[in-house]
Amino acid sequence: MSGAETRAGASAGQPGLRSHPLRTKLILATLALLTATCAALGLFSHVAMSRYLTGVLDDGLERAAGRAGFRPGAAAGDNQGEGQPAPGRAGTDNGAGPRGNGSEYGQRPGSLTAHFEDGSLRRSTLVLEDGIAVPVSGPDLELLAEVDPDRGPEHIDLSGGRYRVDAFVSPAGPADGVLVTGLSTAQRDSTLASLDLTMVVLSLAGLLVTGVAGTVIIRRSLRPLDQLAAVATSVSKLPLASGEVEIPVRVPAAAARPGSEVGTVGLALNGMIDHVTNALRARQASEMKVRQFVADASHELRTPLTSIRGYAELVLLSEQVSPPGRSALERVDSESKRMSALVEDLLLLARLDEGQRGERADVDLTELIVEAVSDAQVSAPEYGWTLMLPDEPVVVSAVESELRQVLINLLSNAHKHTAPATRVEIGLQAGAAWTTLTVTDDGQGIDPDFIDSLFSRFSKADSARTGNTGSTGLGLAIVSALVTVNGGTIEVESKPGRTRFTVVLPLAGAVAV
């Protein structure tokens, strides 16, 4: 597996920072910037203080060498009158050599001196913390003897700790010796440690305060975004596809003020909702005009169609008509019947759109199925009809005439769009609160591209199911509308050799949908 694939898999399996809320990313970004700032400030402070304290140590080394006469421009014994120590303390000879050289004179605790001549130690002094001067130990003297005057001040680790040391050559020349002076870095290191600890504590406290305060401020600042999201969610849940033309929700005025990014988005969202509302109103008005026209036209067509059928039948029954004339009249009668059926379907849909329905009651669905299948066997005897019904009656809460129409249309669809000898199975199963009705045939199936529009009005797919019978494309649309108004659902699944319509309806006594 390549590196790109590995990274892609890791990205797909683990959510990254992009998946976190905006407020979380802002808080993390603020804390990251503050952490970087505190780290940079702490590092700068540490370096600056370290340089300053190291400079103080270096200055102390030079002054110590000057007091011993090992610095150009200073004579041996300079400042000897300053703060002369008590006998036995730092600054006394202690048997180490003549006092006039000043190598141990007036040294502070933690300082040391070592005077070498021709590579041999002449005297050495180490001032302890309690002020007592003692000779430098042998191992430490070996390290001090290696200090090079040309290198300048440096750090070395002695038995007593870490020291800042420097070597000075006598102004009279190297023959008069080299003086190594040293100061303990314990105080400097302690100061730096205290500074680092203080910076860390202050940084952590600042991060904590910033995190808490930043969280509160960012949450309050982004609270209007939650209102925008709530409004968008409410709009997405409205039944806009079922004739709803009013969108009652809007972004509050407090979150829709110009001048801020959130306010601009709120204004834009309100404008979009107003635009969608106006578009829905226009669509609804157009649909209502079309439906009203269809209803009026269908109602007006019933009378002339009835008259056409009546006169055609009268002529066929009472008049002597030539064979071509009889064929023409029979064709007129047939087409008028088909148009009458179309008009009745349109009127039924118009009544459903207007909410004109019968009374809901307890209906024995088992009995309705038996009656509908019996009628289908008479009208299509060349098909194989099979019933799979439970032993006990299944009672549903619905309008009886509407359920009868659902069964008639489903069974008619099964034999009109399949070849003769097709087996059609009608099944019924009852659950705790719902019953499931299935109509299954072993025909050639439905074109998959047509499944999504199968329950739309005037949809046809005769190329997918044999038997072009001049279908109007309203049968399944009526089935879907009737099932929906009775609180049920309908689904279809199809493949070559098997097509099944599944209708789910509430049982009597179940909670109405």
- Rounded Cα distance, 501 and 486, in Å: 17
| Farthest CA pair distance, the chain | 164
Q: Could you say which of 311, 326, 356 is where a domain stops?
A: 356
Residues 390 and 451 in one domain: yes
Strands (DSSP E) contained in 412-508 are: 423-430, 434-441, 489-495, 498-506
- 288-309: pLDDT as tens digits: 777 777 777 777 777 788 888 8
Residues 290 and 346 in one domain: yes
Compute how many other C-beta atoms are within 10 angstroms of the C-beta atom of residue 25. 13
Q: Is residue 24 part of a domain?
A: no
How many domains would you assign to the chain? 2
Single-letter code of the amino acid located at 461: A
Segments forming the whole domain that contains residue 280 = 238-356
Residues 267 and 370 in one domain: no
- C-alpha distance from residue 454 to each of 155, 242, 372, 492 (Å): 90, 18, 22, 9
Are the C-beta atoms of residues 103 and 91 closer than 8 Å to each other? no
Dihedral (CA of 61, 63, 64, 70) sign: positive
Single-letter code of the amino acid located at 503: V
Residues 499 and 372 in one domain: yes
Are the C-beta atoms of residues 100 and 93 closer than 8 Å to each other? no
- 399-423: pLDDT as tens digits: 888 888 899 889 988 888 888 889 9
Q: Could you say which of 356, 385, 419 is where a domain stops?
A: 356
Residues 500 and 368 in one domain: yes
CA atoms within 13 A of residue 54's CA, in its CB half-sphere: 15
Q: Is residue 150 part of a domain?
A: no
In this prediction, residue 471 carries a pLDDT of 62
pTM over 0.75: no
Nearest to 199 by CA among 385, 35, 336, 359: 35
Q: The domain spanning residue 321 has which CATH number?
A: 1.10.287
| pLDDT at 214 > cutoff 80 | yes
Q: Is residue 323 part of a domain?
A: yes
In this prediction, residue 322 carries a pLDDT of 85
Residues 338 and 367 in one domain: no
Residues 431 and 309 in one domain: no
Q: Is residue 52 part of a domain?
A: no
Residues 342 and 294 in one domain: yes
| pLDDT at 504 > cutoff 80 | yes
Residues 246 and 312 in one domain: yes
Which secondary-structure segment (H or E) carries 385?
strand 384-388
Overall average pLDDT of the 12-18 stretch: 50
Compute how many other C-beta atoms are within 10 angstroms of the C-beta atom of residue 482. 25
Comparing 91-100, 190-199, 234-243, 488-497, which segment has the lowest mean pLDDT? 91-100
H, E, C per residue of 96-143: CCCHHHCCCCCCCCCEEEEEEECCEEEEEEEECCCCEEECCCHHHHHH
Contacts of 101 (CB under 8 A, 6+ apart): 68, 69, 76, 77, 115, 123
Q: Is residue 67 part of a domain?
A: no
Q: Is residue 138 part of a domain?
A: no
CA atoms within 13 A of residue 473's CA, in its CB half-sphere: 10
Q: Is residue 477 part of a domain?
A: yes
- Rounded Cα distance, 396 and 213, in Å: 61
In this prediction, residue 98 carries a pLDDT of 36
Mean pLDDT taken over the chain: 79
Q: Is residue 394 part of a domain?
A: yes
Q: Could you say which of 356, 381, 412 is where a domain stops?
A: 356
The confidence band for 75, taking pLDDT boundaries of 50, 70 and 90, is very low
Residues 303 and 242 in one domain: yes
| pLDDT at 191 > cutoff 90 | yes
Overall average pLDDT of the 135-144 stretch: 88
Residues 341 and 242 in one domain: yes
Residues 307 and 422 in one domain: no
Q: The domain spanning residue 382 has which CATH number?
A: 3.30.565.10
